[in-house]
Amino acid sequence: MKFFQQNCPICGRPVKMEKKLKFMMVVCNHCGGNFKASGRSEGARVNTILPVSQGEKIDALLRKSERVLRLGKIGQC
C-alpha cells in the first residue's frame, strides 16, 4: 500500500496521503488546515475540535495556507 489515512486535527476528517509524505507538513483539502503527517493510519475520532470563533478559524487557515503554498506540500483527500 502506498497510501495511509490520518485524521485532520483541525476538522477531524480523514485525509488520504501518499506514504512519501510521512513526517512532512501536509494540508487538509477539506478545511485547509495543515498538520504533520504521522505515517500511520488512524481511525475516526470524535470531538477532536474545540470551538473557536469563525474569524479566528479563518485567520488561522489563511496563515496555514500561506505557509503550505510556500512549502508546496499538500495531501490528497
Q: Distance between CA 36 and CA 31 in Å, rounded?
A: 15
Contact 59, 29 (CB under 8 A): no
State which amino acid sits at residue 4.
Answer: F
Q: Distance between CA 48 and CA 51 in Å, rounded?
A: 10
Kindly report, residue by residue over 18-76, the tens digit of the pLDDT: 989 999 999 888 888 889 998 777 655 544 455 556 667 777 778 888 877 777 766 65
Is the pLDDT at 13 greater than 70? The verdict is yes
Residues whose CB falls within 8 Å of the CB of residue 40, separated by 6 or more in sequence, listed in order: 4, 6
Instruction: Give the up-direction half-sphere exposure of residue 11: CA atoms within 13 A in the CB hemisphere.
Output: 15
Specify the higher pLDDT residue, 77 or 17. 17
Q: Residue 47 has what pLDDT?
A: 43
